[in-house]
Amino acid sequence: MDKARDQTGTVRALGLMSGTSLDGVDAAVIETDGHTLSAFGPGKYRAYSADEQTVLSAALGQWNGAPVEAVAAVVEAAHRDVIAEFEGIDLVGFHGQTVAHEPHGRGTLQVGDGASLTETLGVPVVWDFRSEDVAQGGEGAPLAPFFHFACALKIGALAPICFLNLGGVGNLTYVDPSFKRPEEPGALLAFDTGPANAPINDLMQARLGAAMDKDGVMAARGTVDGAALKQFLTSSYFERTPPKSLDRNDFDSSAALVESLPDADAVATLTAMATAAVVRGIGLCPQPPSRLLVTGGGRLNPVMMAMLRDALDCPVDPVEAVGLDGDMLEAQAFAYLAVRVARGLPTSCPGTTGVDRPVGGGRISDPAPAHSLA
């Protein structure tokens, strides 16, 4: 039995994440037994080039055909680049690139064949994390909450806290650390809050040829359009009981709401939309959290963070305030989930994706056995 599938001992796992912001590949190492976090290892980032981002963007919302095949080639090549820089790894968790997500329709599609990566490091690769959850009636997202539960225990949280990932889409995880296991009823509640950086990035690219509103400079120059913000918040999504999830483009209407605004005002308004969606989400938690810990690119936007602090009654801090790495947290999450998959442990539950019972997703691809000459 290989080390990753053994039910005891610590595994050195490498997690790989390419998120909805389409900026690049995060790779991070952790050491875990699938329950507790023993140590955090090195992390690396491999940015997508402008041409690669164009290929990825062209496939969003597509389920097959040439655009999806082109994404597979880009994603697999980029991941091979980054994982070749690691050694001493027992197991890899490979998320792939989400290009389409309809959990109660056509399913969910993360592009990239994990089996094609097994030979690069010569260790098992866990991939296709979301499909089984969707097949069992779940949303298939978010999947990081089980890792957030482990992080809450790692930092010694005593009262309920929330983790907020501000990537392309906003994801909120409510953690009650008084429970012993993440799959216990009441331990976790998780859901997508609404759009976060994706509409801002898309507008910056379309209007100004910039990848993002770096440091919130454009938002800081603008004025929030109250009418557009009010209209945004009329979406029925905000009234839906969680768990619930979104595709990157589900809130394309937000772009239309700011279409006539000057650049700075449009970005300021989209930033206010992202934070207002989070505030609505906090209101759906079982009780107000003692603290909000923010990860993802949004934590580096001082305007977005200031809006959150102004609107919420609890402290709002980047995850670095408790010794975590906001750049690598999602990649670390898929390293953690890979170990849980290898050991037959659940990776989602009713409180995180709405599935009927705790579910362990993911496929495991093993490298070809070495052949010796007789």
pLDDT single digits (tens) 162-200:
999 998 899 999 999 999 999 999 999 999 999 999 999
What are the DSSP E strand ranges found in the chain?
Answer: 11-18, 24-32, 37-47, 91-102, 107-111, 125-127, 161-166, 169-175, 188-195, 292-295, 316-318, 363-365
Place of tokens 């690669």: 52
- pLDDT value of residue 23: 86
**pLDDT, position 370:** 58
Task: Please name which of 134, 76, 52 lies closest in space to residue 100, comparing C-alpha atoms.
Answer: 134
Q: Say if CB 337 and CB 327 are below 8 A apart.
A: no
Buried b (16+ CB within 10 A) or exposed e, 347-373: bbbbbbbbbeebbbbbebbeeeeeeee
Cross-strand pairs, 15: 28, 93
Map out the domains of the chain with their CATH numbers.
11-137+359-365 (3.30.420.40), 156-322 (3.30.420.40)
Which residues, given as ranges, of the chain have pLDDT below 70?
Answer: 1, 7, 370-374
What's the pLDDT at 371? 47
Dist CA 327 CA 330 (whole Å): 8
pLDDT of residue 326: 94
